[in-house]
Structure 1
Amino acid sequence: EGKELAEHAAAAAQRAQQDSTAALGQRLQDVHFWKAELQKEIEDLDAETGLLAAQKQRLGRALDATEVPYAIATDNLQCRERRQPPDLVSDEVERELLKEVELIRNIQELLKRTLIQAGNQMRLNCDQKEVCEMDRSDKVETYNIDVNCGRYSNQSTNVQFHPGSVKFEESASTPETWAKFSHDNIYRAEREKLASINLRALIDNILHDVSEDLRMQCAAVNKAFAKRCEELYDTKHKLEHHLEKILKEVGDQEANIAALKQAIKDKEAPLKVAQTRLYDRSFRPNVELCRDEAQFRLISEAEELTESTVSLKKKLLESEQCLRNLEDTRMNLEKEIAVKTNSIFIDRQKCMAHRTRHPVVLKLAGYQ
């Protein structure tokens, strides 16, 4: 009976050990599964964080690139303040430049906010990756412990009694809570990874849109400048053509005045002759002081010459006033032409030349 009991106890102990070893084997499979899942999640998060970091760099480059068009637009506005009246007006070019400045400011604010968002998401990715790494580290340690436990046998020399270990720890997890812990970690990691992927797509869209908006606004400003310069050239050409006509009229009027002065001068000698004759004849004695035909003719001649001279002098005054008016017109035209020349120089030589430094779309999109 004692022998039978001993054999039964030995068989029961062997079966119990086999069951425990099998349970440890199953447990190793479970631990390995979650360890592999966590490793995959860690690698995915690490790769995703790297991709997000690249997008964050693009945002930074795009933000830096906006400084050039902003400087160009503000410089254009400042340069155009040096235009002279009547060209110092709020025209289409100024309105488009102000729109460009406002657009760039809004874009810079958007890029700064997105940079902060990307930085926050990268931190969340790293935090969740660290959680998964700690979980995996615990799984690796547990796996190694259970591997060693599975190798123990009755022939092992490194086994001994540990009566205090035959109990459940109060803080021990259940299989359900144990699996849920890793499942939740992976779920949160997947959630952050998805948020990171969506943010990268958003950054792509933002950079595409802002670079396109800047390109289109730059084109609108350039078009307004080209149109304004064309208007200035056309107006300047018309003013110069008008000035040519005025200069010809000035020349003609100066010649006319010279002719009138000469005509007045030419009347002096005949008038002197007529008046001298009349003066001398006024000394005729007594009855000889006769109103004869010669006297009538001399008086008529003197009056005609005087009247003609008065008429010529009046015409001379009118011509001189006309010349002064023409000179005033000439001066005004020359001032207007100078104003237009200055405006053309500012818009074409200063502003449009400066705008050739506007960054290309690839740079504005953060690729360069």
Structure 2
Amino acid sequence: MSAEVLVSRPLAPQSVPPGSLPTQSPEAAINATGQHSSSGLATSGFRTAKYLLEEWQQGNSTTYYQAFADRDSSERTRQESKVLAAEAEARAQRSQAEATRRLGERLLDIHFWKSELAREVEELRAETQLLLQGKNRLERALDATEIPFSIASDNLQCRERRVGAELVRDGVELELLQEVELIRNVQELLKRTLNQTIQQIRMNRAAKEALEMDWSDKVEAYDIDDKCGRYNNQSTEIQFHHNSSKYEDNTSTPESWTQYSHDNIYKAERERMTSVNLRSLIDSILQDTAEDLRAQCAAVDRALAKRCEEVDDAKRKLENHLQKTLAEIAGQENNIAALRQAIKDKEGPLKVAQTRLYERSHRPNVELCRDPVQFRLISEVGELTESVDVLRQKLEAAEQALRNLEDTRMSLEKDVANKANSLFIDREKCMTHRTRYPVAMKLTGYQ
């Protein structure tokens, strides 16, 4: 068996320091082996493949050095491990602290937008409530216009029952027609405004719903981030989630997240300002329409009062003429009776004169003379006949005048009755009915 140095693992040449092992030439090793080698029968029981002392020493030295090198490498590894662990711990703490700080900043951002959303929700809710009150006012005002419309329509229908020449298109009728037209226009305006208000209420509620959804999401996100911010290494709820370190497909960016809430608030503010302007328009419309209706009502009342004065004055004049006509009729009747009596009174003298003439016509012979008596009797008959004719003509004229007076009386009585009927319609029906006209407060929807 050849002499060969055996070690447990080869020694790296770069790790063996120079001069650490004994130097010996191969020839010296062979000679040394030969000098100490046993030969013969005396050493036959002890001849074996043994290491040399130098090999043993060299092996020990190699083991010592390997142990030193392993310890040195292990010590360096331990130091590096401590430094690496400390750095990893510090990095982990810094990362966790940074993440916690970012969570705190995120909570502040969420809280800010959540507060802005809550403020806008409250303002929009209050504005919608005010707009609902405006809607109720419009509905009450629209209902209140039914009374003026029914009053004006009833006035027109009542005045259609005027008789004869009293059925005139006077100022009252013109004002009533204008009132009916005004009420219809007001009703159409109120209906359009009411529909616009209902649509705006829907828009306000839609914007409020979007704000509330955004606010609800932010409340949930705030709770989640607040819960995450309270986690620490000693928390009992933490565990491994291997698939959590990834970006979701539907995630938003901070810019889009901010813009989303900003857009919702902007839309809500726009709808709120539109609602504010609409409420101002509602107030203006209700105020203007109430003033217009009350002004037209006053105009109709003035026209009715003026017309009643005119009709009453005409009725008094007609009644005065009627009284005078009745007196004249009575006088004419007395005159006719006197004329008839005068004609009758002329019958006696006429009979006397004609009888005289008749008797004298029987005078005999020469006695049938045209003496002054004859002339006088003939003249008397002519005078009496002419007087009777004149009286008869005057009687006919008086009778015609009486007939005319009777016709005038009937016409006057009819006119007085018609004017009394017109006064009853305008004063008792129309003016009394118009006392139910709504006040301005009710026309503006406050009652």
Q: Same fold (TM over 0.5)?
A: yes
Instruction: Answer yes or no: is 1:196 the counterpart of 2:237.
Output: no
Which entry has the higher C-alpha Rg, 1 or 2?
Answer: 2
**Which residue of the other structure, out of 98, 102, 116, is the alignment partner of 1:19?**
98
CA distance in 1, matches of 2:381, 2:210: 125
Other-structure match for 2:48:
none
User: How far 1:287 moved relative to its partner?
Assistant: 4.0
Alpha-carbon offset, residue 288 of structure 1: 4.0
Counterpart CA distance in 1 for 2:380 and 2:230 is 154
Per-residue displacement from partner, 1:125-163 (whole Å, max 9, x unpaired)? Answer: 111111111111111111111111111111112211112
Tell me the equivalent position of 1:55. Answer: 134
User: What is the one-letter code of the residue matched to 1:190?
Assistant: E
1:7 aligns with 2:86: yes
Count residues in correspondence. 368
The structure 1 residue matched to 2:220, chosen from 122, 126, 141, is 141
Determine the C-alpha separation between the residues in 2 that align with 1:195 and 1:103: 28
1:47 Cα offset (Å):
1.0
**Correspondence 1:125 to 2:204:** yes
Q: 2:250 and 2:433 mapped to 1: Cα distance?
A: 72
Residues of 2 paired with 1:90 and 1:300: CA distance?
A: 65
Deviation at 1:335, TM superposition (A): 2.0
Aligned to 1:115: 194
The answer as to 2:93 corresponding to 1:37 is no
Match of 1:228 among 302, 307, 317: 307
Q: Post-superposition shift, 1:198?
A: 0.9
Counterpart-to-counterpart distance in 2, 1:304 and 1:198: 102
Aligned residue runs from structure 1 range 39-188, under 5 A? 39-188=118-267
1:241-260 residue pairs with structure 2 within 5 A?
A: 241-260=320-339
TM-score calculated relative to the size of structure 1: 0.96
One-letter amino acid of the counterpart of residue 97, structure 2 = Q
- Cα-Cα RMSD: 1.5
2:410 aligned with 1:331: yes
**Which residue number corresponds to residue 273 of structure 1?**
352
Letter aligned with residue 277 of structure 1: R
Give the match for residue 401 of structure 2.
322
The CA distance in 2 between the partners of 1:7 and 1:322, in whole Å, is 142
Q: Give distance in 1, aligned partners of 2:274 and 2:383.
A: 109
Greater relative contact order, per chain length (Cα 8 Å cut-off, separation 6+): 1
1:216 pairs, out of 273, 279, 295, with 295
Counterpart residue type for residue 439 of structure 2: V
AA at the equivalent of 2:153? T
| Distance across 2 between alignment mates of 1:5 and 1:301 | 175
Does the alignment pair 1:205 with 2:284?
Answer: yes
Distance (Å, rounded) in 1 between the aligned partners of 2:268 and 2:295: 40
For residues 87 and 106 of structure 2, what CA distance do their matches in structure 1 show? Answer: 28
Determine the C-alpha separation between the residues in 1 that align with 2:117 and 2:253.
Answer: 19
Structure 1 position 237, deviation (Å): 1.6
Matching residue's letter, 2:341: Q
Please give the per-residue CA displacement for 1:94-135, whole angstroms capped at 9, x wherever unaligned: 111111111111110111111111111111111111111111
| TM-aligned CA deviation for residue 19 of structure 1 | 1.0
Which deviates the most, 290-299 or 128-137? 290-299
- What letter matches 2:81 in structure 1? G
Unaligned runs of 5+ in 1: none
The 10-residue stretch of structure 1 (244-253 or 69-78) with the greater mean CA deviation from structure 2: 244-253
| 3-state SS in 2 of match to 1:163 | coil
- For residues 207 and 49 of structure 1, the distance between their equivalents in structure 2, rounded to whole angstroms, comes to 19
- Quote the offset at 1:348 in angstroms: 1.2
What is the CA–CA distance in structure 2 between the aligned matches of 1:292 and 1:13, rounded to whole Å? 177
Q: State how far apart, in whole Å, the 2-side matches of 1:183 and 1:303 are.
A: 126
Percent identity reads 66
Amino acid across the alignment from 1:248: A
Distance change in 2, residues 1:285/1:127 (3 Å) = same
Letter aligned with residue 340 of structure 1: K
